[in-house]
Structures are given as C-alpha cells and as structure tokens.
Amino acid sequence: MTDTGTRCILMSSKTRVAPTSQQTIPRLELLSALLLARLMASISKNLEKTLEKPICYMDSKVALYWILGLNKDWRPFVQHHVEKIRRLIPSTCWRHCPGMVNPADLPSRGLKPDELEKNKDWFKGPDWLTTDLNGEKASFEDMPSECIQELRACEKKTLGMIVAASGLSQIINIQKYSCLGRVLRVTCHMLTFIARLRRMTASTVMLQAEVLWLREVQSSFQTERKFSDWKVQLGLFSDQNGLWRCRGRIQNANARYEIKHPILLPAGNYFTLLVIREAHEIVFHSGVKQTLTELRSKYWIVRGRSVVKKMIYRCVTCRRFEARPYKAPDPPPLPRIRVEEAPPFTYTGVDFAGPIYTKDGTGKVSLKRFTSRRGIPHKFISDNGKTFKATAKKIKKIMNHPEAIDYVNESKTEWRSEYLLELREQHRYSKGDNAGVEIKVGDIVIVKSNEKRHGFWNLGKVESIIPERDGLIRGATVRVATGGRKSTLLNRPVQHLYPMEINHQEEESSQDQPRESQDHKETARPRRAAAFEARDRIIAQTLDD
C-alpha cells in the first residue's frame, strides 16, 4: 500500500500433491486452507514488518464453514485441521471468493507455464483486490449438505413418530412382471442393504424375499369369511415364518416338510398366477395334472385345478401347439352337378395319384401315344374281329339284363329319396373350432403348413379379409415373415388360420363347450364282412346269367 494507491504482487506460491488415501473434495479444500495458513505464517516471519490482520481468500464454502468456528462437533480429521488453521490465522481473517476468479485455480485448469508467465491475474490478482481490501465476508443461513457427513455422532434422542405400515404390493407393482423369478430378484435388490448389515448370503436374501411376498399374499385373505372355514377344513397352522400351512394327514410320510405341509395360496392373486406359471415351465408345459402335481409339492391353492386350467389356456407357448382354427362359415348350396341326374362319369373328378410304376402292353402304349398326340377320337372303327364282337355281345347282355336294369332303377330311386334329401341337412364343423370367434384385420394368427410340424408353423398378421358373394368370410390375406426383414402376403382359408390372441368371446366359448375326451367320441359302425360277400355274389351271378 503506497501513497498513490494499493498494489498487488505475487510474493510466493506453494502446491502439494493430494494424499494417496482417498479423501472427499471438502477435505482436500481444508488441506489447501492449512497450506495457505502455513505459507502466510512463513512469509510473515521472514518480513521485517509483521502482518497484523492478514486476509485469506478461498472458494470452498464447506471448508470455510468449518473454519469460521461454528459450534459443531466435527469428526477428528476436520476438528484437528481446523484447530491448526486457527492457531496460524484467526477465523475472522478468512473471506470467500468465487471459484471463477480465484487465481490459485489457474495451474489446475491446464494452463501451460509459458501462458502462466503472461497471465495478469496470476501475478497481480483480480482487479477487485485493489478496491476492496476487506473482501466479502461469508454468511451462512443453513449448513451446507456436505458438512453433515463430517458431524460426530451425538447422543441418541427418542422421537415419537406415527408410521403407516405398507406392504410390498405398495412398493413393487407386481403386475409389471410376468415371471416369479424377476419379482423375487427385484425384492432382493431392496433387501441388499439389510443383507450387508446382517452379513446374509444371496440365497438367504432370496428366501427372505419369497417369505415376504407370501406373507403379503396371505394377509389378503385372512379378513375373508371363508378363512375360518379353511382353518377347519385344511387344518391351517402358522409356522416359524408366520406363513399359513395345511396340516393334512400325511405327517408320517417319508417326504419333505413342504410336501407334508404345503403353503396356502388364494386363487385370485397375481402372485399365485406367477407361481403356477413357474411350475408349468418346470414341467415343460405339460398338462393340468403334471402342473398341479408340481405345485402341490410346495403350495396348496384353493380351487387349484380350475385356476391351473385357466392359466394353461392363456399360456402362449401351449397355444402355439394346441390352438384351434377359426370356425368356417356354413357351406354354400351344392352346385347343380351334385343334385341333377346324369349318366355315370358325366362329371369326373381327377386327382394326381402317382407316380405308379406299371408295365403296359404294346397296344395300350400305342393307343395312349396316339390319343396324346391327336386327341381322343369321337368314334372308333375296327375290323369287327372276333374279340371285339364277343366283348360287344357280353357288354350288351349285361346292360340289357333285367336284374341289372332293376338294380339301376333302384339305385336311381334310392338316390332321389335318400341321398338327395340328406344333402339338405346343414353341415356342421367339429366343436373343436373357435365357434363364435370372428377373424378381424390385425389379428395375430398361426398359418397352417403341410410341410412343417405344428410347433414350427409361421406366425402371421391378418392384413385384409376376403368376403364371398354371399357376404360370408371364408378366407383372409396374411402377411408372413420370410427371413430377415422381408415378408410376403398369402391367401389362406380361415380353417388354416389359428388365432394366437385370446379374446373374451373365445374364452366364453371354450368354457361353454368343454373339450371332449378322445375315448367318448362317437365313431361310425363298420360294415360287416357278410354284407360285402353278399354283394359280390349278386354281381357274379348277374354276369354269369
């Protein structure tokens, strides 16, 4: 300080490497304040004039809060360093400056030595040092949050609080998970802190998570009226974990404790559904009996068989193998060729039935080649050989025989009176189809394929519906993936499309029409061998006559 004004120059600087032990940033700032206090004491000792009221600046409010001497019980590290600083520099000499204008931070910000030599703030400090010598005194309304970590533990105080008990279902939304293992793992993450304090293993935490969920589920039905009846019927008792178990009559069996005393679970809880789904996957998506057997090795579910049936019906994996196709509409009226009289083979259906390896005669092969090149002749002209004449007489005799004529007339009458009238009956498809379920655009379906097994049929999406002239839907256009991101459109009848998604109509139809067992299906009575023999004798006798 001179007669012309105040001047600031750099007299000394000092730095240190941070300790090898890991420290927090506020503690490192406190160490830098101690370094500054020691440097100030060293300069004051070497100067001819003693510094009466030195002013020290720092940009850490946490360390400054410790130095200001507020009545707090700090941990030993902070307490010892604060006492050392106060012995060198009084607490009233400390000021706060913003970190952006602190020259001491310039080397730590990556400033090179040649740039540091030309920096004005490094040698003369910021401009406000020459105008405001006293600086800004730090004021604290509240304790910084970082200071709380360094508080020393004090005496315990009793605090009365009203805590509302909340179950796991209010903390974890179990409806977001489709697997029991995921629910238990999420619960284990919540219990990890407690497990570390009690030094529990991972398997113990998993068991504790399962017990907590079982308690949560069982607490939901203890207020019901049927719970008292269940206690009598099932012999319920509470085990050491507070879980309700069934007593039964197999206490003397050589089996595990869980088998002899299974845990009771309600039927309508989502946790019960996850338990059933896990047991269903353990038995590799087997039927109701196998799934129920696996469940009863540890749990007892009220109305268990019906609940298991409902879950298996909704299983996506099982549906790929046991899905039923859409119900086809009622068949249209028969064409005229099916209901009009005509000579035999007037309308002939042809189908490929080969290859059949045979050896034809030379004459047949020649005739076949001739008709293939030139077409079928309208009339054949022969040389009236004996073979042709004998065959013509034999055929004429058969056609003009009274019994043959009577047989044809009787067949004609039977065709009119029986067969034609039976065609008026409505044809119904089997009850196994999805009766009442209509196909819609956007449905996810399984496309039937004769080249693959049922479990490997492709999935498709219904793009459009193909209506017939009568307004009924007998087909649909389906988009099927062909590999990678490519897809193709296929036209398929509704009988070859199996719905994957379960809707309300389909579920009601499945409950109204239970699946019939294979043993009770009605089969047509086979024709007796004597009937075939009698018919052969009649034809042979007609030819002999």
- pLDDT at residue 461, as a whole number: 92
Statement to judge: residues 204 and 237 lie in one domain: yes
Q: Decide if pLDDT at 518 tops 50.
A: no
| CB crowding 201-228: b at 16 or more within 10 Å, else e | eeeebbebbbebbbebbbeebeeeeeee
- The one-letter amino acid at 476: A
Q: Does the residue 240 lie in any domain?
A: yes
Statement to judge: residues 256 and 121 lie in one domain: no
DSSP 327-347: PPPPPPPPPHHHHS---TTSS
- pLDDT at residue 363, as a whole number: 65
| Confidence grade of residue 152 (pLDDT, cut at 50, 70, 90) | low
Statement to judge: residues 125 and 229 lie in one domain: no
Angle formed by the axes of helices 288-295 and 270-282, nearest 10°: 110
- Indicate left, alpha or beta for 95 from its phi (over 0: left) and psi (-120 to 50: alpha): beta
Q: Decide if pLDDT at 506 tops 60.
A: no
Phi, psi torsion values for 96, nearest 5 degrees: -110, 140
pLDDT in tens, 212-221: 888 888 888 8
Query: What is residue 367's three-state secondary structure?
Result: helix
Q: What percent of the chain has pLDDT over 90?
A: 6
Statement to judge: residues 124 and 203 lie in one domain: no
CA dihedral 97, 100, 105, 108 (to 10 degrees): 160
E-strand ranges in 138-267 read 237-238, 244-245, 263-265
Whole-angstrom distance, CA of residue 66 vs CA of residue 381: 129
pLDDT in tens, 338-368: 788 877 767 776 555 556 566 656 667 777 7
In contact, 203 and 197? CB cutoff 8 Å: no
Q: Does the residue 296 lie in any domain?
A: yes
Residues 6+ apart with CB under 8 A from 317: 285
**Residue 245: which of 226, 255, 260 has the closest Cα?**
260
In contact, 169 and 213? CB cutoff 8 Å: no
Q: Decide if pLDDT at 130 tops 80.
A: no
pLDDT in tens, 178-191: 777 777 777 777 77
- pLDDT at residue 219, as a whole number: 84
- pLDDT at residue 70, as a whole number: 63
In contact, 115 and 37? CB cutoff 8 Å: no
Mean pLDDT of 263-284: 90
pLDDT in tens, 377-415: 766 667 777 877 888 888 888 888 888 888 888 888 888
pLDDT in tens, 435-476: 667 888 988 899 998 888 887 888 899 999 988 887 888 899
Residue 265, strand partner residues: 301
Q: Does the residue 536 lie in any domain?
A: no
**Residue 300: which of 269, 278, 280, 272 has the closest Cα?**
272
Mean pLDDT of 216-240: 84
Q: Does the residue 524 lie in any domain?
A: no
Structural domains in the chain (count): 3
Statement to judge: residues 136 and 186 lie in one domain: no
Q: Is 495 exposed, middle or buried (0-12, 13-18, 19+ CB in 10 A)?
A: middle
Q: Decide if pLDDT at 246 tops 60.
A: yes
Statement to judge: residues 201 and 238 lie in one domain: yes
In order of 15, 92, 361, 374, the CA distances from 31 in angstroms are 11, 19, 115, 113
Statement to judge: residues 95 and 211 lie in one domain: no
| Confidence grade of residue 517 (pLDDT, cut at 50, 70, 90) | very low
- pLDDT at residue 318, as a whole number: 87
pLDDT in tens, 302-335: 888 999 999 888 888 888 888 888 888 887 888 8
Statement to judge: residues 131 and 178 lie in one domain: no
Q: Does the residue 262 lie in any domain?
A: yes
| Confidence grade of residue 373 (pLDDT, cut at 50, 70, 90) | confident
Q: Decide if pLDDT at 239 tops 60.
A: yes
Torsion over CA: 223, 229, 233, 238 (sign)? positive
pLDDT in tens, 34-87: 888 888 888 888 877 777 778 888 888 888 888 876 656 777 888 888 888 888
Q: Does the residue 367 lie in any domain?
A: no
Statement to judge: residues 183 and 68 lie in one domain: no
pTM: 0.44
Mean pLDDT of 107-115: 77
Looking at per-residue confidence, does 374 or 255 come out higher? Answer: 255
Angle formed by the axes of helices 402-414 and 529-544, nearest 10°: 140
Domain span holding position 181: 169-314
Q: Does the residue 385 lie in any domain?
A: no
Statement to judge: residues 310 and 173 lie in one domain: yes
Average the pLDDT over each of 108-122, 190-204, 219-233, 446-460 and give the range with the smallest value: 190-204
Q: Does the residue 376 lie in any domain?
A: no
